[in-house]
Amino acid sequence: MSTPSTSPSLIVRRAHADDALIIASIYNETIEARDATMVLDPVTAEDMTKRLHGLSERESLWVLEENRLVQGWGVVKLYSERPGYARACETSVFLRRAETGRGLGSVIQPVLLQAAQEAGFHHVLVRIWAANASSIAMHEKFGFTVVGTQREVGFVDETWVDVTIMQCLLD
């Protein structure tokens, strides 16, 4: 996987309500592919607008634009609402299926990590389908380490899915 060169044509910015339709569309591509999320039913722009408006002050949703076209999105969200987990969060990245393998996840992930650090998080968690070697490798580039694999934790289309848990500790 090659990392795109730094270019003014690549911009990561906070998402806003006007992005809800494209965010839903990108997410639905992943939902339909049945290889990276446990969400099984398509989402709507209204669903994503509610999600955007429902973020806590420490959570954030970002979009990656290439030449003003949204190619992907990522989120920093609370790991748990329990007070003892206040310094832990989870990140997720989703790209247009046609754009995977170009290194765009490596453009979004550092922005998510910076946003997490600025929001006061110390522990960042990702949950990745164990068969998704490219996502695991991308996260390793940013200091994530595998802490384990949950065997048969997901059940999608009559098939058990293993999920690899990775973590990154921020300074």
The reported pLDDT for the residue numbered 171 is 87
Nearest one of 116, 119, 146, 118 to 130, comparing CA atoms? 146
What single-letter DSSP state applies at residue 5? Answer: P
Q: What is the CA radius of gyration of the chain?
A: 15
Nearest one of 52, 66, 56 to 15, comparing CA atoms? 52
Q: Give the range of the structural domain holding residue 47, as residue numbers without chain letter.
A: 10-122
pLDDT one digit per residue (tens) for the chain, 171 residues: 233 444 679 999 999 999 999 999 999 999 999 999 999 999 999 999 999 999 999 999 999 999 999 999 999 999 999 999 999 999 999 999 999 999 999 999 999 999 999 999 999 999 999 999 999 999 999 999 999 999 999 999 999 999 999 999 998
Pairwise CA distance, residues 108 & 94, whole Å: 10
In a domain, 90, yes or no: yes
Pairwise CA distance, residues 56 & 19, whole Å: 18
In a domain, 16, yes or no: yes
In a domain, 148, yes or no: no
Structural domain total, the chain:
1
In a domain, 70, yes or no: yes
In a domain, 43, yes or no: yes
CB 95 within 8 A of CB 135: no
pTM for this predicted structure: 0.93
Give the three-state DSSP class for 139.
Answer: helix
In a domain, 156, yes or no: no
In a domain, 144, yes or no: no
Give the three-state DSSP class for 20.
Answer: helix
CATH number for the domain that contains residue 73 = 3.40.630.30
CA neighbours closer than 13 Å in the CB half-sphere of residue 116: 30
H or E stretch covering 74: strand 69-78
In a domain, 35, yes or no: yes
The reported pLDDT for the residue numbered 7 is 67
